[in-house]
Structure 1
Amino acid sequence: MISGIKYRLAQLLFVTTLLGGCSFTNNPKPLNQALDQGLVDVELTNVGTFGDVMIATIYGKAPDSVELAIPSGLIVKNEQSDEDFVLVRYQGMLSALDAIDPQLEEPLTAHKDQPSYGLIEAYSIEAYTNSPTISDTFRLDGFAEADLKTLIDLFAQKPHDQFTAKQIAIWAITDDADREVVYWASSLFKEADFEQAKALLIEAKLDPTNYLMFQE
Protein backbone atom coordinates (compact mmCIF):
# COMPACT_ATOMS: atom_id res chain seq x y z
CA MET A 1 0.00 0.00 0.00
CA ILE A 2 1.32 3.40 -0.88
CA SER A 3 1.37 5.90 1.92
CA GLY A 4 2.52 9.46 2.16
CA ILE A 5 3.30 11.89 -0.59
CA LYS A 6 6.52 11.94 -2.54
CA TYR A 7 7.35 15.21 -4.24
CA ARG A 8 9.51 14.92 -7.31
CA LEU A 9 10.60 17.92 -9.31
CA ALA A 10 11.95 17.64 -12.83
CA GLN A 11 15.29 19.34 -12.78
CA LEU A 12 16.30 22.43 -14.69
CA LEU A 13 17.66 21.14 -17.96
CA PHE A 14 21.24 22.25 -18.09
CA VAL A 15 21.43 21.35 -21.78
CA THR A 16 18.60 21.99 -24.21
CA THR A 17 20.23 21.01 -27.45
CA LEU A 18 21.24 17.66 -28.83
CA LEU A 19 24.54 16.45 -27.47
CA GLY A 20 26.26 14.29 -30.01
CA GLY A 21 28.84 13.11 -27.49
CA CYS A 22 32.06 14.47 -26.11
CA SER A 23 35.26 13.88 -28.02
CA PHE A 24 37.55 11.74 -25.89
CA THR A 25 41.16 10.99 -26.72
CA ASN A 26 43.77 8.55 -25.44
CA ASN A 27 41.23 5.78 -24.90
CA PRO A 28 39.31 7.12 -21.90
CA LYS A 29 39.03 4.64 -19.06
CA PRO A 30 35.55 3.65 -17.83
CA LEU A 31 34.90 5.13 -14.39
CA ASN A 32 34.25 1.75 -12.77
CA GLN A 33 37.58 0.40 -14.03
CA ALA A 34 39.46 3.49 -12.89
CA LEU A 35 38.01 3.03 -9.41
CA ASP A 36 38.89 -0.67 -9.33
CA GLN A 37 42.45 0.12 -10.38
CA GLY A 38 42.88 2.80 -7.72
CA LEU A 39 43.38 5.59 -10.24
CA VAL A 40 40.59 7.81 -8.91
CA ASP A 41 38.17 8.37 -6.08
CA VAL A 42 34.65 9.59 -6.78
CA GLU A 43 31.87 11.24 -4.80
CA LEU A 44 28.41 11.19 -6.38
CA THR A 45 25.91 13.93 -5.57
CA ASN A 46 22.26 13.78 -6.59
CA VAL A 47 20.20 16.88 -7.38
CA GLY A 48 16.90 15.37 -8.56
CA THR A 49 15.08 12.35 -9.98
CA PHE A 50 15.59 12.38 -13.73
CA GLY A 51 17.64 14.12 -16.39
CA ASP A 52 20.92 15.89 -15.58
CA VAL A 53 20.73 15.01 -11.90
CA MET A 54 23.99 13.30 -10.91
CA ILE A 55 27.27 15.10 -10.34
CA ALA A 56 30.50 13.13 -10.05
CA THR A 57 33.30 14.78 -8.10
CA ILE A 58 36.47 13.06 -9.29
CA TYR A 59 39.76 13.01 -7.39
CA GLY A 60 42.78 11.78 -9.31
CA LYS A 61 45.18 9.44 -7.48
CA ALA A 62 47.61 8.71 -10.32
CA PRO A 63 50.64 10.91 -11.11
CA ASP A 64 49.22 11.70 -14.54
CA SER A 65 45.77 12.95 -15.50
CA VAL A 66 43.26 10.26 -16.46
CA GLU A 67 40.48 10.72 -19.01
CA LEU A 68 37.32 8.95 -17.95
CA ALA A 69 34.18 7.65 -19.63
CA ILE A 70 30.77 6.97 -18.08
CA PRO A 71 29.52 3.62 -19.41
CA SER A 72 25.76 3.49 -19.96
CA GLY A 73 23.92 1.32 -17.47
CA LEU A 74 26.06 1.81 -14.37
CA ILE A 75 23.91 1.44 -11.25
CA VAL A 76 24.41 3.95 -8.44
CA LYS A 77 23.41 2.72 -4.97
CA ASN A 78 22.05 5.19 -2.44
CA GLU A 79 23.59 4.35 0.92
CA GLN A 80 20.98 6.32 2.89
CA SER A 81 17.69 5.32 1.24
CA ASP A 82 16.16 2.91 -1.23
CA GLU A 83 16.22 5.23 -4.25
CA ASP A 84 18.98 4.04 -6.55
CA PHE A 85 19.87 5.43 -9.98
CA VAL A 86 21.08 4.27 -13.36
CA LEU A 87 23.58 6.37 -15.31
CA VAL A 88 23.04 7.09 -19.00
CA ARG A 89 25.91 9.32 -20.15
CA TYR A 90 28.34 12.08 -19.34
CA GLN A 91 27.02 15.53 -20.21
CA GLY A 92 29.94 17.88 -19.60
CA MET A 93 32.39 19.32 -17.09
CA LEU A 94 31.29 21.77 -14.41
CA SER A 95 33.54 24.49 -13.06
CA ALA A 96 32.30 23.80 -9.52
CA LEU A 97 29.92 21.48 -7.69
CA ASP A 98 27.16 24.10 -7.70
CA ALA A 99 27.75 25.37 -11.25
CA ILE A 100 25.01 25.18 -13.90
CA ASP A 101 27.09 25.74 -17.01
CA PRO A 102 28.53 22.41 -18.23
CA GLN A 103 31.35 22.59 -20.76
CA LEU A 104 29.96 20.19 -23.32
CA GLU A 105 33.14 19.46 -25.24
CA GLU A 106 35.38 19.11 -22.21
CA PRO A 107 36.24 15.45 -21.45
CA LEU A 108 35.84 14.15 -17.92
CA THR A 109 39.42 14.20 -16.67
CA ALA A 110 40.79 13.35 -13.22
CA HIS A 111 43.71 15.43 -11.94
CA LYS A 112 45.76 14.69 -8.87
CA ASP A 113 46.04 18.29 -7.74
CA GLN A 114 42.38 19.35 -7.98
CA PRO A 115 38.88 17.82 -8.11
CA SER A 116 36.92 17.64 -11.35
CA TYR A 117 33.13 17.85 -11.59
CA GLY A 118 31.19 15.92 -14.23
CA LEU A 119 27.48 16.27 -14.96
CA ILE A 120 25.74 12.97 -15.72
CA GLU A 121 22.32 12.15 -17.15
CA ALA A 122 20.73 9.68 -14.73
CA TYR A 123 17.34 8.27 -13.73
CA SER A 124 15.71 6.81 -10.64
CA ILE A 125 15.08 3.06 -10.65
CA GLU A 126 12.88 3.17 -7.53
CA ALA A 127 9.37 4.47 -8.09
CA TYR A 128 8.07 3.74 -4.60
CA THR A 129 10.62 5.56 -2.45
CA ASN A 130 11.24 9.09 -1.27
CA SER A 131 13.59 11.26 -3.26
CA PRO A 132 17.17 11.49 -1.95
CA THR A 133 18.50 14.49 -0.11
CA ILE A 134 21.54 16.52 -1.12
CA SER A 135 23.49 14.93 1.76
CA ASP A 136 22.92 11.33 0.61
CA THR A 137 25.99 9.40 -0.49
CA PHE A 138 26.18 6.97 -3.39
CA ARG A 139 28.46 4.24 -4.68
CA LEU A 140 28.73 2.33 -7.94
CA ASP A 141 26.95 -1.02 -7.75
CA GLY A 142 27.51 -2.89 -11.00
CA PHE A 143 25.52 -2.66 -14.20
CA ALA A 144 21.88 -2.81 -15.19
CA GLU A 145 20.83 -6.12 -16.66
CA ALA A 146 18.39 -7.54 -19.19
CA ASP A 147 15.60 -5.18 -20.31
CA LEU A 148 16.87 -2.20 -18.33
CA LYS A 149 20.35 -2.40 -19.87
CA THR A 150 18.82 -2.66 -23.34
CA LEU A 151 16.72 0.45 -22.70
CA ILE A 152 19.58 2.48 -21.22
CA ASP A 153 21.87 1.63 -24.13
CA LEU A 154 19.18 3.05 -26.42
CA PHE A 155 18.89 6.21 -24.31
CA ALA A 156 22.64 6.74 -24.57
CA GLN A 157 22.23 7.04 -28.36
CA LYS A 158 19.10 9.21 -28.27
CA PRO A 159 18.85 13.01 -28.25
CA HIS A 160 19.15 14.76 -24.92
CA ASP A 161 15.42 15.16 -24.34
CA GLN A 162 12.21 13.28 -23.39
CA PHE A 163 13.38 13.07 -19.78
CA THR A 164 9.96 12.36 -18.30
CA ALA A 165 9.20 9.67 -20.88
CA LYS A 166 12.56 8.01 -20.24
CA GLN A 167 11.84 7.97 -16.50
CA ILE A 168 8.42 6.39 -17.00
CA ALA A 169 9.84 3.69 -19.26
CA ILE A 170 12.49 2.85 -16.66
CA TRP A 171 9.99 2.58 -13.82
CA ALA A 172 7.81 0.34 -15.97
CA ILE A 173 10.73 -2.10 -16.09
CA THR A 174 12.37 -1.76 -12.69
CA ASP A 175 9.31 -1.62 -10.41
CA ASP A 176 6.57 -2.83 -12.77
CA ALA A 177 4.83 0.36 -11.70
CA ASP A 178 1.35 1.26 -12.90
CA ARG A 179 0.16 4.73 -13.83
CA GLU A 180 -1.24 5.40 -10.37
CA VAL A 181 2.23 5.02 -8.89
CA VAL A 182 3.76 7.35 -11.47
CA TYR A 183 1.15 10.04 -10.87
CA TRP A 184 1.68 9.59 -7.12
CA ALA A 185 5.39 10.21 -7.63
CA SER A 186 4.72 13.52 -9.36
CA SER A 187 1.92 15.48 -10.97
CA LEU A 188 4.41 16.62 -13.60
CA PHE A 189 3.87 13.50 -15.70
CA LYS A 190 1.36 13.88 -18.54
CA GLU A 191 -0.47 11.45 -20.81
CA ALA A 192 1.85 12.31 -23.68
CA ASP A 193 4.80 11.16 -21.56
CA PHE A 194 3.29 7.68 -21.27
CA GLU A 195 2.86 7.48 -25.03
CA GLN A 196 6.46 8.55 -25.56
CA ALA A 197 7.62 6.00 -22.97
CA LYS A 198 5.75 3.26 -24.80
CA ALA A 199 7.38 4.31 -28.07
CA LEU A 200 10.82 4.18 -26.44
CA LEU A 201 10.22 0.63 -25.24
CA ILE A 202 9.15 -0.41 -28.72
CA GLU A 203 12.22 1.26 -30.23
CA ALA A 204 14.36 -0.75 -27.81
CA LYS A 205 12.59 -3.88 -29.11
CA LEU A 206 10.87 -4.44 -25.78
CA ASP A 207 7.19 -5.38 -25.66
CA PRO A 208 5.28 -2.73 -23.63
CA THR A 209 2.53 -5.22 -22.81
CA ASN A 210 5.02 -7.15 -20.68
CA TYR A 211 4.83 -4.33 -18.15
CA LEU A 212 1.86 -3.50 -15.94
CA MET A 213 1.90 0.17 -16.92
CA PHE A 214 0.98 -0.61 -20.53
CA GLN A 215 -1.40 -3.51 -20.05
CA GLU A 216 -5.02 -2.90 -20.97
Structure 2
Amino acid sequence: MNTVSSNRSRELDRLLTFGKLVPVITIERAEHAVPLARALVSGGLRLLEITLRTAAGADSASRIIAEVPEAIVGIGTVLTRDDLKRAVDLGAKYALSPGATPTLLEAAARGELPFIPGIATSSELMVGLSFGFDTFKFFPAVPAGGIPALKALGGPFPQVKFCPTGGISEDNARDWLALPNVVAIGGSWLAPEGDLNAGNWSALTERAKRALARIGQ
Protein backbone atom coordinates (compact mmCIF):
# COMPACT_ATOMS: atom_id res chain seq x y z
CA MET A 1 0.00 0.00 0.00
CA ASN A 2 1.48 3.37 -1.02
CA THR A 3 1.58 6.45 1.18
CA VAL A 4 -1.52 8.06 -0.36
CA SER A 5 -3.66 4.94 0.00
CA SER A 6 -2.37 4.34 3.52
CA ASN A 7 -3.24 7.89 4.58
CA ARG A 8 -6.63 7.63 2.89
CA SER A 9 -7.37 4.35 4.68
CA ARG A 10 -6.37 5.75 8.06
CA GLU A 11 -8.54 8.83 7.57
CA LEU A 12 -11.52 6.68 6.59
CA ASP A 13 -11.01 4.54 9.68
CA ARG A 14 -10.97 7.72 11.77
CA LEU A 15 -14.17 9.04 10.20
CA LEU A 16 -15.99 5.77 10.83
CA THR A 17 -15.32 6.08 14.56
CA PHE A 18 -17.92 8.87 14.60
CA GLY A 19 -20.81 6.47 14.11
CA LYS A 20 -21.97 3.07 12.94
CA LEU A 21 -25.18 4.32 11.32
CA VAL A 22 -24.94 6.37 8.13
CA PRO A 23 -28.18 7.88 6.82
CA VAL A 24 -28.39 7.58 3.03
CA ILE A 25 -30.11 10.81 2.06
CA THR A 26 -31.76 11.78 -1.20
CA ILE A 27 -32.84 15.42 -1.19
CA GLU A 28 -35.27 16.86 -3.74
CA ARG A 29 -35.33 20.42 -2.38
CA ALA A 30 -32.08 22.07 -1.31
CA GLU A 31 -33.85 24.23 1.28
CA HIS A 32 -34.50 21.03 3.25
CA ALA A 33 -30.81 20.23 3.54
CA VAL A 34 -29.75 22.27 6.55
CA PRO A 35 -32.75 21.56 8.84
CA LEU A 36 -32.51 17.89 7.87
CA ALA A 37 -28.84 17.70 8.79
CA ARG A 38 -29.40 19.55 12.05
CA ALA A 39 -32.21 17.15 12.96
CA LEU A 40 -30.04 14.09 12.35
CA VAL A 41 -27.04 15.54 14.20
CA SER A 42 -29.34 16.40 17.13
CA GLY A 43 -30.36 12.75 17.16
CA GLY A 44 -26.74 11.63 17.36
CA LEU A 45 -25.99 10.88 13.69
CA ARG A 46 -23.02 12.88 12.41
CA LEU A 47 -21.92 10.78 9.44
CA LEU A 48 -24.20 11.60 6.51
CA GLU A 49 -24.29 10.34 2.94
CA ILE A 50 -25.81 12.91 0.60
CA THR A 51 -26.52 11.22 -2.72
CA LEU A 52 -26.13 12.75 -6.15
CA ARG A 53 -29.37 11.14 -7.34
CA THR A 54 -31.20 14.45 -7.69
CA ALA A 55 -30.49 17.87 -9.16
CA ALA A 56 -30.46 19.25 -5.61
CA GLY A 57 -27.90 16.79 -4.29
CA ALA A 58 -24.70 18.78 -4.77
CA ASP A 59 -26.23 22.08 -3.61
CA SER A 60 -27.70 20.33 -0.57
CA ALA A 61 -24.31 18.91 0.38
CA SER A 62 -22.69 22.32 -0.07
CA ARG A 63 -25.23 23.98 2.22
CA ILE A 64 -24.79 21.35 4.94
CA ILE A 65 -21.00 21.58 4.79
CA ALA A 66 -21.19 25.38 5.11
CA GLU A 67 -23.88 25.62 7.79
CA VAL A 68 -23.75 22.42 9.87
CA PRO A 69 -20.12 21.97 10.88
CA GLU A 70 -20.98 19.10 13.24
CA ALA A 71 -22.06 16.98 10.27
CA ILE A 72 -19.47 14.81 8.53
CA VAL A 73 -20.67 14.89 4.95
CA GLY A 74 -19.96 12.18 2.42
CA ILE A 75 -21.10 12.22 -1.20
CA GLY A 76 -22.92 9.11 -2.38
CA THR A 77 -23.94 7.77 -5.78
CA VAL A 78 -20.51 8.66 -7.15
CA LEU A 79 -20.55 7.02 -10.59
CA THR A 80 -17.82 8.79 -12.57
CA ARG A 81 -14.53 10.63 -12.22
CA ASP A 82 -16.47 13.87 -12.59
CA ASP A 83 -18.70 12.91 -9.66
CA LEU A 84 -15.60 12.19 -7.59
CA LYS A 85 -14.10 15.56 -8.49
CA ARG A 86 -17.38 17.22 -7.56
CA ALA A 87 -17.21 15.59 -4.12
CA VAL A 88 -13.70 16.95 -3.62
CA ASP A 89 -14.69 20.43 -4.84
CA LEU A 90 -17.68 20.49 -2.51
CA GLY A 91 -15.43 19.81 0.47
CA ALA A 92 -16.86 16.39 1.31
CA LYS A 93 -15.02 14.33 3.90
CA TYR A 94 -15.52 11.05 2.03
CA ALA A 95 -17.32 9.56 -0.96
CA LEU A 96 -19.13 6.33 -1.80
CA SER A 97 -20.23 4.52 -4.93
CA PRO A 98 -22.89 1.83 -5.48
CA GLY A 99 -20.44 -0.01 -7.74
CA ALA A 100 -17.04 0.69 -9.21
CA THR A 101 -15.52 0.73 -12.68
CA PRO A 102 -11.76 0.45 -13.18
CA THR A 103 -11.77 4.08 -14.35
CA LEU A 104 -13.44 5.27 -11.15
CA LEU A 105 -11.21 3.10 -8.95
CA GLU A 106 -8.10 4.44 -10.65
CA ALA A 107 -9.20 8.05 -10.14
CA ALA A 108 -10.08 7.42 -6.48
CA ALA A 109 -6.80 5.58 -5.89
CA ARG A 110 -4.82 8.58 -7.17
CA GLY A 111 -6.67 11.01 -4.91
CA GLU A 112 -6.60 11.64 -1.20
CA LEU A 113 -10.36 11.70 -0.53
CA PRO A 114 -11.44 8.65 1.51
CA PHE A 115 -13.50 6.54 -0.86
CA ILE A 116 -15.74 3.52 -0.28
CA PRO A 117 -16.29 1.66 -3.55
CA GLY A 118 -19.39 -0.47 -3.94
CA ILE A 119 -19.20 -4.21 -4.57
CA ALA A 120 -21.68 -7.09 -4.72
CA THR A 121 -19.43 -10.03 -5.63
CA SER A 122 -16.05 -11.48 -4.71
CA SER A 123 -14.70 -10.67 -8.19
CA GLU A 124 -15.62 -6.99 -7.80
CA LEU A 125 -14.03 -7.06 -4.35
CA MET A 126 -10.78 -8.44 -5.78
CA VAL A 127 -10.65 -5.66 -8.35
CA GLY A 128 -11.12 -3.07 -5.60
CA LEU A 129 -8.38 -4.67 -3.52
CA SER A 130 -6.01 -4.50 -6.49
CA PHE A 131 -6.41 -0.71 -6.45
CA GLY A 132 -5.50 -0.51 -2.77
CA PHE A 133 -8.92 -0.23 -1.13
CA ASP A 134 -9.79 -2.21 1.98
CA THR A 135 -13.23 -0.86 2.97
CA PHE A 136 -16.19 -1.44 0.68
CA LYS A 137 -19.87 -0.66 0.40
CA PHE A 138 -21.72 -3.97 0.07
CA PHE A 139 -24.63 -3.00 -2.17
CA PRO A 140 -27.45 -3.84 -2.54
CA ALA A 141 -26.87 -5.65 0.75
CA VAL A 142 -30.04 -7.73 1.13
CA PRO A 143 -30.63 -8.57 -2.56
CA ALA A 144 -26.92 -9.40 -2.94
CA GLY A 145 -27.12 -12.17 -0.37
CA GLY A 146 -27.56 -10.44 2.95
CA ILE A 147 -25.79 -11.43 6.13
CA PRO A 148 -24.89 -14.96 4.89
CA ALA A 149 -23.05 -13.42 1.93
CA LEU A 150 -20.96 -11.13 4.12
CA LYS A 151 -20.16 -14.01 6.45
CA ALA A 152 -18.98 -16.02 3.46
CA LEU A 153 -16.82 -13.15 2.14
CA GLY A 154 -15.13 -12.92 5.52
CA GLY A 155 -13.47 -16.30 4.92
CA PRO A 156 -11.27 -15.55 1.90
CA PHE A 157 -11.08 -11.81 2.64
CA PRO A 158 -10.49 -11.47 6.42
CA GLN A 159 -8.74 -8.11 5.97
CA VAL A 160 -11.72 -6.41 4.32
CA LYS A 161 -14.19 -4.14 6.11
CA PHE A 162 -17.70 -3.42 4.90
CA CYS A 163 -20.40 -0.76 5.09
CA PRO A 164 -23.46 -2.65 3.80
CA THR A 165 -26.35 -0.63 2.38
CA GLY A 166 -29.60 -1.61 0.71
CA GLY A 167 -32.53 -3.26 2.44
CA ILE A 168 -31.23 -2.68 5.97
CA SER A 169 -33.74 -1.43 8.51
CA GLU A 170 -34.00 -0.49 12.14
CA ASP A 171 -35.20 -4.03 12.87
CA ASN A 172 -32.14 -5.80 11.48
CA ALA A 173 -29.41 -3.16 11.90
CA ARG A 174 -28.02 -4.76 15.03
CA ASP A 175 -27.70 -8.13 13.28
CA TRP A 176 -25.58 -6.59 10.54
CA LEU A 177 -23.38 -4.72 13.00
CA ALA A 178 -22.75 -7.93 14.91
CA LEU A 179 -20.65 -9.20 11.98
CA PRO A 180 -16.92 -8.74 12.66
CA ASN A 181 -16.24 -7.40 9.15
CA VAL A 182 -18.94 -4.71 9.31
CA VAL A 183 -17.73 -1.31 10.51
CA ALA A 184 -20.88 0.69 9.73
CA ILE A 185 -24.19 0.36 7.92
CA GLY A 186 -26.03 2.74 5.64
CA GLY A 187 -29.77 3.13 5.47
CA SER A 188 -32.36 5.34 3.81
CA TRP A 189 -34.83 4.45 6.56
CA LEU A 190 -33.08 7.00 8.78
CA ALA A 191 -34.20 9.88 6.52
CA PRO A 192 -37.38 8.73 4.74
CA GLU A 193 -38.77 10.74 1.88
CA GLY A 194 -42.09 11.37 3.61
CA ASP A 195 -40.52 13.15 6.58
CA LEU A 196 -38.20 15.15 4.33
CA ASN A 197 -41.01 16.37 2.11
CA ALA A 198 -43.18 17.18 5.13
CA GLY A 199 -40.37 18.96 6.95
CA ASN A 200 -40.94 16.70 9.92
CA TRP A 201 -37.55 17.32 11.49
CA SER A 202 -38.51 16.24 15.01
CA ALA A 203 -39.48 12.81 13.68
CA LEU A 204 -36.02 12.46 12.11
CA THR A 205 -34.35 13.33 15.39
CA GLU A 206 -36.43 10.83 17.33
CA ARG A 207 -35.85 8.11 14.73
CA ALA A 208 -32.10 8.68 14.96
CA LYS A 209 -32.15 8.44 18.75
CA ARG A 210 -34.26 5.28 18.64
CA ALA A 211 -32.01 3.62 16.05
CA LEU A 212 -28.89 4.37 18.08
CA ALA A 213 -30.52 3.02 21.23
CA ARG A 214 -31.46 -0.21 19.44
CA ILE A 215 -27.86 -0.85 18.41
CA GLY A 216 -26.60 0.02 21.88
CA GLN A 217 -25.06 3.41 21.19
Please indicate, yes or no, whether the TM-score normalized by the shorter chain is above 0.5.
no
TM-score (norm 1): 0.27
Kindly name which structure, 1 or 2, has the bigger radius of gyration based on alpha carbons.
Answer: 1
Which one has the bigger strand percentage? 1
